[in-house]
Amino acid sequence: MASSSTFSLLFLLLLSFVSGRMFAMANGQRTWCIAKPSSNEATLLANINYACSQVDCRVLHKGCPCFSPDNLINHASIAMNLYFRAHGCQQGSCDFRGSALIVITDPSYDNCLYE
């Protein structure tokens, strides 16, 4: 059974898609970079490996705030957002070969903060 954070992430993705603003950035509007739910496991793993080779992904380690839920889409989204943040939140830093989305709703959950 999917966890509530997975449902929350999917809802945020749907909201961004329906709003038609998934790539729009309004003046002063905060944005986050997350993995597309349609991404396959190999792509998600490659995104984690690439992003974490460029930025500090310790928040994904077991026992850290963003480890749970322990699944590829969650970990990829967090790693991709860390990379996006480290590169100035520029649209081009949230592409990951077409497997990423820019959203305008904060995907943070529990103690895992997408900063």
Write out pLDDT tens, residues 42-53.
999 999 999 999
Q: How confident is the model at residue 29 (pLDDT cuts 50, 70, 90)?
A: confident
Domain ranges of the chain: 4-103
Write out pLDDT tens, residues 61-111.
999 999 999 999 999 999 999 999 999 999 999 999 999 999 999 999 999
pLDDT at position 52 is: 98
Cα separation, 95 vs 23, in Å, equals 11
For residue 60 the two structure tokens come to 């994904």
| C-alpha distances in Å from residue 41, one per residue of 30, 36, 99 | 28, 11, 11
Query: The tokens 């592409």 sit on which residue?
Result: 95
Tell me the three-class secondary structure of 43-106, residue by residue.
HHHHHHHHHHHHCCCHHHCCCCCCCCCCCHHHHHHHHHHHHHHHCCCCHHHCCCCCCEEEECCC
Average the pLDDT over 12-37 and give the result: 61
Cα separation, 59 vs 8, in Å, equals 19
- State pTM to two decimals: 0.77
**Choice between 54 and 19, residue whose per-residue pLDDT is larger:** 54
Cα separation, 93 vs 67, in Å, equals 23
